[in-house]
Amino acid sequence: MKKIKAMFVDDEKLQHQAVRTLLHQLKKDVEAFFYLGSDEFFFALEDHLDVDVIFLDVEMPEMDGLEVARKIRAVLPEVAIVFITAYTQYAIKGYEVLALDYLLKPVTLERLEQTLERVAQALPGDDEFLLVDRRKILLDEIYFIEARGHLCEIRLKDSAMEVRKSIGQFMEELSGRFVQTHRAYLVNLDHIYQVNRDHVVLDNEHIIPLSRRQAKEVLQAFVSHYRKQGYSL
């Protein structure tokens, strides 16, 4: 199973201990964080925007789990949400916030394992996504990144988004799958269709400048990448 980053929100310390014990018994690669209520959780969420799954107790004194889930969806629309409850009727309400699953208390080893497996299956592979403005973007969806002053524009198939980050920072995060064709462009090798003398052509027919300085490196990266994919050039 892939490594999972999980956050558990429950106002009962005994429930935290019970889940910790189950996770230890499962011996799965899970990085778990525990919070005793919504205030504590939301204070910490800014530091854990790459979380994969959030487990929520439905009945909490500060804010019930459904309301917490709605606020989570406003920040992390794609994160998996799992409700932990003693009442089966809350399972139906979970559909309102697109909950992945719900666990009945007391949580059993078998059900927790099943849920974590579902979470793992929904995760992209290692380093196959980029976290941008609280959104996980699959690398396959990115065609190229263009530097524009102090910003960078990420170009997807049907949209674009601006991010306050440098091309150099993106190069560090995306090494291996992307190549710099020009000082202002970082291009996804998966989408390069053709390498020419002064430009590259993407599979959506978009043309990206290729500097003389980068030409040799780009061509080598292009050939190496497609040989790894099993294609002959």
Give the separation between CA 158 and CA 187, rounded to whole angstroms: 16
The predicted pLDDT at position 230 comes to 53
The predicted pLDDT at position 90 comes to 58
Q: What are phi and psi of 62, to 5 degrees?
A: -70, -45
129-228 has the same fold as 4-122: no
The predicted pLDDT at position 56 comes to 93
Residue 1 CB coordination number (10 Å): 14
End-to-end CA distance of the chain: give it in Å, rounded.
35
Topology annotation, domain 129-228: OB fold (Dihydrolipoamide Acetyltransferase, E2P) (2.40.50)
The predicted pLDDT at position 232 comes to 46
Burial of 155 (0-12, 13-18, 19+ CB in 10 A): buried
Give the separation between CA 163 and CA 61, rounded to whole angstroms: 38
Spans of all domains in the chain: 4-122, 129-228
The predicted pLDDT at position 10 comes to 93
Cα-based distances in Å from 82 to 61, 99, 214 = 19, 6, 47
The predicted pLDDT at position 225 comes to 75
Cα-based distances in Å from 91 to 8, 204, 224, 233 = 18, 43, 50, 53
Question: For each of the chain's 233 residues, which pLDDT tens digit applies?
Answer: 568 999 999 999 999 999 999 999 987 789 999 999 899 999 999 889 889 999 999 888 777 788 899 999 888 888 999 999 877 665 555 566 778 888 988 999 999 999 998 888 777 655 577 878 777 788 889 999 999 988 999 999 889 999 998 988 888 888 678 999 999 999 999 999 999 999 999 999 999 999 999 999 999 888 887 766 655 45
**DSSP annotation of 175:** B
Q: Could you tell me the pTM of the whole model?
A: 0.61
CA-wise closest residue to 80 among 58, 62, 56: 56
**Contact assessment for residue 16 and residue 41, using Cβ atoms and an 8 Å cutoff:** no
Topology annotation, domain 4-122: Rossmann fold (3.40.50)
